[in-house]
Structure 1
Amino acid sequence: MRTFVIVGRTNVGKSTLFNRLCGKEIALTHSEPGVTRDPLLTRVRLGGKAALLVDTGGVTFSSEGKEQAVTDLAFAALDQATDLLLVLDCRSGLTPLDREIARHLRKLGKPVWVIANKVDDERLDPLAAELSELGFGEPILVSAAHNRGIRRLRETLMGERDSLPSALTRAEEPARRLALLGRPNVGKSTLVNALLGESRLLVAPEPGTTHDAIDIELTWRNRRLLLIDTAGLAPRHKQRQGLEEKTAGRSLHALARSHVAILVLDSHKGITRQDKKIAGWIQRIGRPCVIALNKWDLLSGPAGRKETEAKLADAVRRELPLLSFAPVVPLSAREGTHLDRLLETSLRVDDEAKREISTGALNRFFQKVQRRLPPPSSGGKRLKIYYALNEAPRDAASAGPFRLRLYVNDPKLRVDSYERFLEAQIRKEFPLLGRPVHWSWKKAEGRGRAFSGKRPAPLHPSRRRKKSSREPA
């Protein structure tokens, strides 16, 4: 499969072009230069054929730490490419940095496509003539912001080489999406790099290094995974208007499209108010969850480590009661400890979330629990559960919460402590590891008897008593 890598200096419209070729807004775009830092990879169809498209950060050739790291990551992506898309700003013309980037691309010996971006109007077409001086042929004129020339670009890129079949040779199981979330500087990008075994993402000591949600494919024990590294979710009062609000929105969108959420915590600094807020988002959106306690190596020595692990896991559950159902995995991204355990636990949570729980089994369970410990009475009345219904979608690819609707005599008789008791018993009975339970209590109309474990059967039309003509209307 051909891999097209977009490269160029900052603020020439690489991410906007990336989104146009993808057909949707994947890369974060902003007027501020240098927003894209980590390479973004996605599968696309160009000219009716499948390909990989990679967006990279702006190349600067600067010796400063973060800018040099962004350039190094961009050049590492070029090594994996089959085709290079050199994006230039047609309105500003060739700059010394553009020429230096072109010299580097020429040494790679790969096809280079010069794309003259920001040609918003045909009156700007003559300005692109200067770009031919790079020696890569005639530039392709586009305006990514206005969708001008994008269709021709798609057809041109895939029309030169037709060795790629129009479809994949075999159907593949969709990759399971694991989204890593957390506040800034807890080590999410370091953890992704450790799982990949290579420095794919930018890592820096200052918080806020990652701006976008980065999708990275990983095959682990013959399972296809998609790791989603997200920007750190800072408290709202610390977010600047514009860019940081957009990065927070991208992180929450990544959570919504994930199959399993991995909440990364800093075990050395403890749990903060922002950690609790992120836990609330995970529970409210309803994604199966695993808690990763990073920086485990900074705690006490190996003596009594299992006892320390158990105590810390209990402390995490007390501090994050909304995610008390989530398994806790202590690890060190820097030392590479317990990484396989994190993936094993995440896939086990995902597998259990796909298992179906029948309505009959649920009703037998509630019948048994009510006999053993009836709900508490209030004002001489007692809650009665007549019928339980599993409203979770029956889809193996789903990643939602376990939605439970209970039909009762009076929802106002529900007591929080009894609901917590029921949830604890449900988790002992059914495979719900790391999966949130969302409750819905509804009054059962026309029910005057206790729980029977069966849905009331409708009366057959032939057995309905016909109204007599003598009866009043």
Structure 2
Amino acid sequence: MTEHEEDRGWIDAELADLGTDDSSREEAPDSGPLPVVAVVGRPNVGKSTLVNRIIGRREAVVEDVPGVTRDRVTYEATWRGRRFTVVDTGGWDPDATGMALRIAEQAQIAAELADVILFVVDATVGVTDSDEIVGHVLRGSGKPVILAANKVDNQQMELEAAALWSLGLGEPQPVSALHGRSSGDLLDVVLDKLPETPPQRFGAERGPRRVALLGKPNVGKSSLLNQLAGEERVLVDPMAGTTRDPVDELIQLGGRTWRFVDTAGIRRRDRELKGADFYASMRTRSALERSEIAIVLIDASEVLTEQDLRIISLVIESGRAMVVAFNKWDLLDEDRRYYLEKEIDRQLVRVPWALRVNISAKTGWHVDRLVPAIEKALDSWSTRVPTARLNAFLTDLVAATPPPVRGGKQPKILFATQAATEPPKFVLFTSGFLEETYRRFIERRIREEFGFAGSPIDVTMRIREKKQAQKKK
């Protein structure tokens, strides 16, 4: 077998592994947002231990003292082939000032923003005053509530758990998070309460294109949504943080229907968020994941902040198309515009491909330019480059600018294919490692040749490892 035939056989095998071929079949549609189960309860009732049991690995920190979990942490879990998100919450300190109010507020937030509430009670202690307060709020929430009677390690304790009927939340589900006793039965009950999540399909079959509005608190997201809708659809207030839940609105623009999602402002890192801020941040991320494109709103009257850059990074990591909208641009004088342009060139160097629009959400100035930018970015996001055209382009590119020599050998690009769209993903089959600078060079030239304005693209490689041992034989 010739070396060319060996390379071709290896490429065919790798293409099969990718689930594509020379024609680059479409990837399977992305799934929709996962339903959310919030695990709530007093300190030291075993919430984190139960979360570890549900997700099947020890990730949540567990210690036999109250208050170990301070942050709100999300994990992905699977049971009987169904995926869902689990939120491990911090316990409530009975000695805290205004405890009854704090418990009611925390329970109300969980009830409003989760799909199912898993209320954990220590069966060895029984019903406490704190449990009664939480139970009262949850009974009126209208959300499915599952009462988990934890630390039921034997049949005798099951009798003790029956006393938890007094909370008025239905049948207590006995479980031992530590030993795993009856954890499968509890998860069966959880699945029965979870909403169905049909696969998310992008494109014409799915209906209106989904656009997420992201940005810091009080940057003008709700004002922009109202401006696009031509009426006050969502509450606008000078106080930051008015929006907590993502608000979906169907809006007619440019002769078509769009689904805009007004999200809560992302304040700081998730581990620093508490209560409503944490759940709002989690919902914002979920809204981004089920959207196709994000409009990142930035206050042009202020300097670019770490929060702005982190939100942009969040969109990059999600693989969604992006438009960066600089709000309040009409209020800037010439000096501020000059220095802001310098800031943008310096700090947004990671996303030169993002489309940019300067607007005023309050007055509507240049808001009409958003829809053409969104359409252009979405077209790029779903663009597929024919395999033959891609390889012809790369052949000419490599001939003009070969890859850097590595270890005394010059790697070759044997073949290339676009493995997916939404976002576009390219795979290079090579005879050796390509330096990161050269891969960035290829990405830049692909953009220059084929477009992709407003869309991220991913360029990866698969290396053909030569079997030296076989050659020696």
User: CA shift at 1:442, angstroms?
Assistant: 1.3
Kindly indicate whether the alpha-carbon contact (under 8 Å) linking 1:173 and 1:224 is maintained by their aligned counterparts in 2. no
Matched residues in 2 for 1:293 and 1:447: separation?
A: 54
2:408 partner amino acid: G
How far off its partner does 1:357 sit? Answer: 1.3
Corresponding position: 1:252 with 2:275: no
Structure 1 Cα separation of the partners of residues 304 and 467 of structure 2: 47
CA distances 1:423-450 after superposition (whole Å, capped 9, x unpaired): 11111111311111112221125699xx
* Cα distance in 2 for residues equivalent to 1:297 and 1:356: 37
- State the partner residue of 1:287: 320
Counterpart of 1:418 in structure 2: which amino acid?
Answer: Y
Find out whether 1:336 has 2:364 as its counterpart.
yes
For structure 1, which segment, 291-300 or 379-388, has the greater mean C-alpha deviation from structure 2 after superposition? Answer: 379-388
Given that residues 254 and 371 in structure 2 are in contact (C-alpha distance below 8 angstroms), is that contact kept between their aligned partners in structure 1?
Answer: no
Match of 1:345 in 2: 373
- Residue 197 (1) aligns with residue 230 (2): yes
**Aligned mates of 2:107, 2:139 — CA distance in 1:** 19
Letter in 2 for 1:224: T
Partner amino acid, structure 2, of 1:403: K
Aligned positions of 1:6-405 closer than 5 A = 31-32=104-105, 174-236=207-269, 239-300=272-333, 308=337, 312=340, 315-393=343-421, 400-405=422-427
In the TM superposition, residue 298 of structure 1 has moved relative to its aligned partner by: 2.3
Q: Is the 8 A contact 2:250 2:259 kept in 1?
A: yes
CA contact (8 A) 1:317 1:323 kept: no
Is the Cα contact below 8 Å between 1:331 and 1:337 reproduced in 2? yes
* Residue aligned with 2:281, SS: helix
Change (3 A) 1:378 1:186: same
Aligned-partner residue type, residue 407 of structure 1? F
Any conservation in 1 of the 2:383–2:424 contact (CA below 8 Å)? no
Contact 2:264 2:284 in 1 (8 A): yes
Note the C-alpha offset of 1:240.
3.8
- Write the distance in 2 (CA, Å) between the matches of 1:429 and 1:272: 33
Aligned to 1:456: none
> Following TM superposition, by how much is the alpha carbon of 1:409 offset from its aligned partner in structure 2, in angstroms?
1.5
- CA, structure 1 residues 369+332, in 2 after alignment: closer, same or farther (shift >3 Å)? same
Q: Which amino acid in the other structure matches residue 359 of structure 2? A: L
TM-score normalised by length of structure 1 = 0.55
Query: Does structure 2 conserve the Cα–Cα contact (< 8 Å) formed by 1:178 and 1:260?
Result: yes
CA separation of 1:172 and 1:438: change in aligned 2, threshold 3 A: closer
- Structure 1: how far apart are the matches of 2:140 and 2:369? 52
Hey, what's the Cα distance between the residues in 2 that align with 1:336 and 1:349? 21
Residue identity (%): 35
Describe the superposition over 1:135-166 as per-residue Cα deviations: whole angstroms up to 9, x where unpaired: xxxxxxxxxx9x99xxxxxxxxxxxxxxxxxx
- Larger-Rg structure: 1
Q: Distance in 1 between matches of 2:288 and 2:363?
A: 27
Structure 1 residues 238 and 376: CA distance shift in structure 2, 3 A: closer
Deviates more, 1:284-293 or 1:374-383: 374-383
Q: Which residue identity lines up with residue 302 of structure 2 in the other structure?
A: K
Q: 1:313 to 1:244 in 2, by over 3 A?
A: same
Contact 1:313–1:328 (8 Å) recurs in 2: no
Unpaired stretches in structure 1, ≥5 consecutive residues? 1-24, 41-88, 93-117, 122-144, 149-170, 394-399, 449-473
Paired residues in the alignment total: 293
User: Aligned in 2, Cα 1:365/1:420: closer, same or farther, shift over 3 Å?
Assistant: same
Distance between the aligned counterparts of 2:441 and 2:260, measured in 1?
35
Work out the CA distance in 1 between the residues paired with 2:265 and 2:140.
35
Q: Which has the higher contact order (CA 8 A, sep 6+)?
A: 2
Mark the CA change 1:446 to 1:383 in structure 2 (over 3 Å): closer, same or farther: closer
Match for 1:220: what amino acid?
L
Q: In angstroms, what is the RMSD of aligned CA positions?
A: 3.9
Distance in 2 (alpha carbons) for counterparts of 1:172 and 1:256: 18
Structure 1 residue 444 corresponds to structure 2 residue 472: no
